[in-house]
């Protein structure tokens, strides 16, 4: 079962990152005005804080979201993995399965997607295993003020 999940994760990551060509200006403009295109194409966001870089790539189909999330901390351990979640009123709640320090882990992540920006939620607390716990009410979520910014997927 774990091998199947890991293989699926690798296939998804490969499929999401294999789209090396950026959409043309005409395609980008039509995606902004056409919800059908917006809901079926991958969207990429990046945030740089000092020498740390964070990448978020999401593929939205209806309210279902798949994606890839990478945290690349300068001179520290990197974590890289896949997202599987739901989008409701611009709030993405997802399970993040990732590899860090040679260990496979899973935790919850929450993002608010707003136009060309994505804001990562700040956990209200941590559970007994050290995993973040987010408020279940969207209107009570707190977000990091520094956004990820939309960019061409690479």
Q: What is residue 15's predicted lDDT score, i.e. its pLDDT?
A: 41
Q: What is residue 114's predicted lDDT score, i.e. its pLDDT?
A: 95
Lowest mean pLDDT among 4-13, 34-43, 58-67, 120-129: 4-13
Q: Which of 19, 62, 22 is nearest to 150 (CA)?
A: 22
Q: What is residue 116's predicted lDDT score, i.e. its pLDDT?
A: 96
Lowest mean pLDDT among 7-11, 86-90, 139-143: 7-11
73 burial (CB, 10 Å; 0-12 / 13-18 / 19+) is middle
Q: Confidence band (pLDDT; 50, 70, 90) for 77?
A: confident
Residue 24 DSSP label: P
Query: Which stretches within 18-144 are classed as H helix?
Result: 25-33, 35-38
CA distance 144 to 122: 6
pTM as predicted: 0.73
């Amino acid at each position: 079962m774990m091998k199947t999940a890991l293989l699926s994760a690798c296939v998804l990551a490969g499929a999401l990152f294999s789209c090396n060509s950026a959409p043309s200006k005409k395609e980008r403009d039509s995606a902004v005005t056409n919800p059908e295109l917006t809901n079926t194409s991958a969207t990429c966001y990046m945030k740089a804080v000092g020498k740390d870089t964070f990448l978020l790539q999401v593929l939205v189909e209806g309210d279902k979201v798949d994606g890839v999330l990478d945290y690349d901390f300068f001179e520290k351990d990197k974590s890289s993995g896949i997202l599987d979640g739901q989008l409701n009123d611009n709030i993405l709640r997802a399970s993040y399965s990732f590899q860090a320090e040679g260990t496979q882990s899973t935790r919850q992540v929450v993002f608010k997607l707003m136009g060309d920006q994505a804001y990562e939620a700040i956990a209200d607390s941590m559970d007994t295993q050290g995993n973040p716990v987010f408020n279940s009410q969207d209107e009570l979520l707190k977000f990091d003020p520094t956004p990820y910014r939309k960019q061409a997927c690479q």
